């Protein structure tokens, strides 16, 4: 357990959804688990003029909603006493000065300061500038760190502009660019599976691997985020950061040690060696679609009739859109290990199931006993079930030589294991000063460099976007990106999930 200095966490956007659902409950759980330092305060910053008591009552409501089975009263008392509120109305020119005066009371607020910016992306750089203006980023006596929520820019140019604006006031070591996928324990497990076992590394290359699929499927639609989503789309929302980071962990070389710098250096190298998608042949390398009305399986297991994306937009006054809710692309990595191996990255809303997985198909075995013989698959499943599955051909007992596919299924979580939300580990890392699960600017830039040209080409193409029925599997037409005819989407981690 790393030691955390006494500190104050300053939470901008504290009344927003992320804070209600993830951050406050996450901080409470960290506190209850004894992971927060004794001297640690939380200052929530919001636009509304709310008293400390009213804010504390609001926090109680957040915890009651999250922890239906209740919580320990002593834990609650300790946690609630850490919590304070500061109103920062955008109309008040002295708002940051007042915040600085409030934070100056060291008997309440330890002077190491971690800022969590859970605000609109357009507010990131003005907040940093104003914090700097009142001396709240000055590290001459205490550390000062700023966590920036996703997205870091909406394309390469805006990411670089944001970087230029904030580095006027912050050193790289003070900046924590979040990708919450890196806080998932199943994602951290990719590196351990690869490098803490002897059996995988020798076959982790183009000699044995036919292709890799990195998939994020959701049954959810865009919900009430129509405005945001329609200017973002699936590629930018999921692939640009979460899925390319997943790919980097699957494909990077072994870091020389587990220090943040060594891991980041390997991820950066890998991301920079992905070949740009050839725009002259975009249609064989990337595919987009939108969900139409259909029926999905809701969280409680029941079927639910849902509207199509365009209908949802129309309700909110948006009359036309070519924004994708399904995106798939084929990427190649230009290095000796991966030369020639396609990495298919896909993400979609309103699919038949919600699942995030890395599925690796191996090449044909040297001995083909029958036409039914399948190629081996190795699946690292990220969510909802964290598991590793290996599909192996095996003889059907009997007089004849025939094979069938059997699965070795290894759950990566035991019933007794702690279940930690990704934001909990990331909040802890922020306070510990450990940036290994945060993104370096070079990673962000490399990711935008890959995605930008596709996003721009798709935005410029106003022809009707392919529709898929909500609750269905991948649109058949998406198969146009496969490199060879015997490749197809793995649509489930269950045995037989390689057949439609």
Binding-site ranges for ligand BG6 (CB under 6 A): 150, 218, 237, 356
169 is a catalytic site residue:
no
Nearer to ligand BG6, 235 or 274 (CB): 235
Nearer to ligand BG6, 280 or 419 (CB): 419
Rounded to a whole number of angstroms, the minimum distance from the CB of residue 235 to ligand BG6 is 12
Min. distance of Cβ 220 from ligand BG6 in angstroms? 6
| Closest separation in Å from C-beta 237 to ligand BG6 | 5
Please give the Cα distance from 243 to 358 (Å, whole number): 10
Minimal distance in Å, beta carbon 77 to ligand BG6?
A: 31
Q: Cβ of residue 289: shortest distance to ligand BG6, in angstroms? A: 16
DSSP 8-class letter at 239: I
Residue 267 in 3-state DSSP? helix
Distance CA 237, CA 245 (A): 13
Closer CB to ligand BG6, residue 218 or residue 443? 218
Q: Which is nearer to ligand BG6, 79 or 423 (CB)?
A: 423
For residue 152, the minimal CB distance to ligand BG6 (Å) is 12
The neighbouring-strand residues paired with 303 are 297
DSSP string, 78-145: HHHHHEEEEE--TT-TTHHHHHHHHHT-TTTS-S-EEEEE-S-GGGHHHHHHHHHHTTTT--SSS-EE
Hey, which bits of 371-421 come out as E strands? 377-383, 387-395, 403-411
- Rounded CA-CA distance 347/217 in Å is 6
Q: Cα separation of 126 and 447, whole Å?
A: 24
Q: Which residue is nearest to ligand BG6 (CB)?
A: 237
The torsion angles phi and psi of 478, rounded to 5 degrees, stand at -65, -20
CB of 239 to ligand BG6, least distance (A): 11
205, 244, 203: which is closest to 336 by C-alpha?
A: 205
Distance CA 116, CA 40 (A): 15
110: left (phi over 0), alpha (psi -120 to 50) or beta: beta
CA 411 to CA 415: how far, in whole Å? 10
Q: In angstroms, give the least distance from the CB of 187 to ligand BG6.
A: 10
Residue 255: both structure tokens together: 């870091």
Q: Which residues make Cβ contacts (< 8 Å) with residue 169, sequence separation at least 6?
A: 128, 129, 131, 132, 137
Per-residue burial over 169-185, b if 16 or more Cβ lie within 10 Å, else e, is bbeeebbbbbbbbbbbb
d(C-alpha 126, C-alpha 167), whole Å: 12
Q: What are the start-end ranges of the H helices in 134-184? A: 156-166
Nearer to ligand BG6, 376 or 429 (CB): 429
Maximal CA-CA distance, the chain: 86
Residue with smaller CB distance to ligand BG6, 22 or 264 = 22
CA 490 – CA 213 distance, rounded (Å): 8
> Catalytic one among 86, 242, 352, 440?
242
Provide the minimum distance between the beta carbon of 313 and ligand BG6 in the complex, in angstroms, as a whole number: 16
Nearer to ligand BG6, 150 or 466 (CB): 150
Q: Which is nearer to ligand BG6, 56 or 188 (CB)?
A: 188
Pairing, β 113-117 against β 7-12: parallel
What is d(CA 76, CA 72) in angstroms, rounded to the nearest whole number?
6
Q: Which is nearer to ligand BG6, 82 or 180 (CB)?
A: 180
Active site residues: 242
């Amino acid at each position: 357990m790393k030691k955390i200095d006494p500190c104050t966490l300053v939470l901008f956007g504290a009344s927003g959804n992320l804070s209600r659902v993830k951050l406050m409950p996450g901080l409470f759980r960290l506190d209850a688990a004894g992971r927060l330092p004794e001297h640690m305060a939380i200052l929530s910053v919001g636009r509304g003029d709310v008293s400390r008591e009213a804010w504390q009552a609001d926090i109680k409501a957040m915890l009651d909603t999250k922890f239906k089975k209740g919580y320990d009263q002593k834990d609650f008392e300790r946690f609630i006493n850490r919590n304070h509120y500061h109103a920062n109305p955008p109309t008040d020119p002295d708002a940051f000065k007042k915040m600085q005066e409030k934070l100056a009371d060291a008997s309440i607020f330890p002077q190491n300061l971690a800022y969590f910016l859970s605000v609109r992306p357009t507010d990131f750089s003005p907040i940093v500038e104003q914090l700097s203006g009142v001396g709240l980023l000055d590290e001459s006596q205490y550390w000062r760190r700023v966590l920036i929520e996703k997205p870091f820019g909406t394309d390469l140019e805006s990411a670089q502009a944001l970087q230029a604006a904030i580095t006027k006031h912050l050193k790289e070591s003070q900046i924590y660019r979040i990708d919450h996928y890196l806080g998932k324990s199943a994602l951290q497990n990719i590196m351990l599976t690869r490098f803490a076992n002897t059996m995988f590394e020798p076959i982790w290359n183009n000699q044995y691997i036919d292709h890799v699929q990195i998939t994020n499927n959701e049954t959810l639609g865009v919900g009430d985020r129509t405005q945001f989503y329609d200017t973002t789309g699936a590629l930018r929302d999921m692939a640009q950061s979460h899925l390319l980071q997943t790919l980097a962990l699957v494909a990077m070389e072994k870091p020389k040690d587990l220090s943040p710098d060594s891991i980041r250096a390997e991820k950066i190298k890998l991301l920079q060696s992905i070949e740009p998608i050839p725009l002259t042949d975009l249609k064989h390398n990337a595919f987009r679609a939108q969900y139409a009305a259909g029926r999905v399986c809701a969280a409680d297991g029941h079927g639910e009739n849902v509207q199509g994306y365009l209908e949802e937009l129309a309700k909110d006054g948006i009359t036309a859109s070519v924004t994708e809710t399904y995106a798939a692309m084929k990427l190649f990595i230009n290095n000796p290990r991966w030369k020639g191996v396609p990495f298919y990255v896909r993400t979609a809303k309103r699919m038949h199931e919600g699942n995030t997985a890395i599925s690796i198909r191996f090449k044909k075995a040297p001995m083909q006993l029958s036409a039914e013989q399948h190629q081996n698959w190795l699946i690292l499943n990220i969510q909802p079930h964290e598991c590793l599955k290996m599909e192996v051909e095996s003889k059907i007992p009997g007089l004849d030589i025939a094979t069938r596919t059997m699965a070795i299924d290894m759950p990566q979580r035991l019933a007794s294991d702690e279940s930690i939300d990704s934001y909990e580990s990331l909040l802890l890392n922020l306070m510990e000063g450990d940036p290994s699960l945060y993104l370096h600017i070079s990673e962000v830039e490399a990711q935008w460099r890959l995605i930008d040209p596709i996003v721009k080409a798709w935005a410029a193409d106003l022809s009707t976007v392919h529709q898929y029925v909500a609750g269905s599997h991948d649109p058949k037409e998406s198969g146009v990106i496969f490199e060879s005819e015997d490749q197809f989407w793995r649509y489930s981690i269950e045995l037989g999930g390689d057949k439609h």
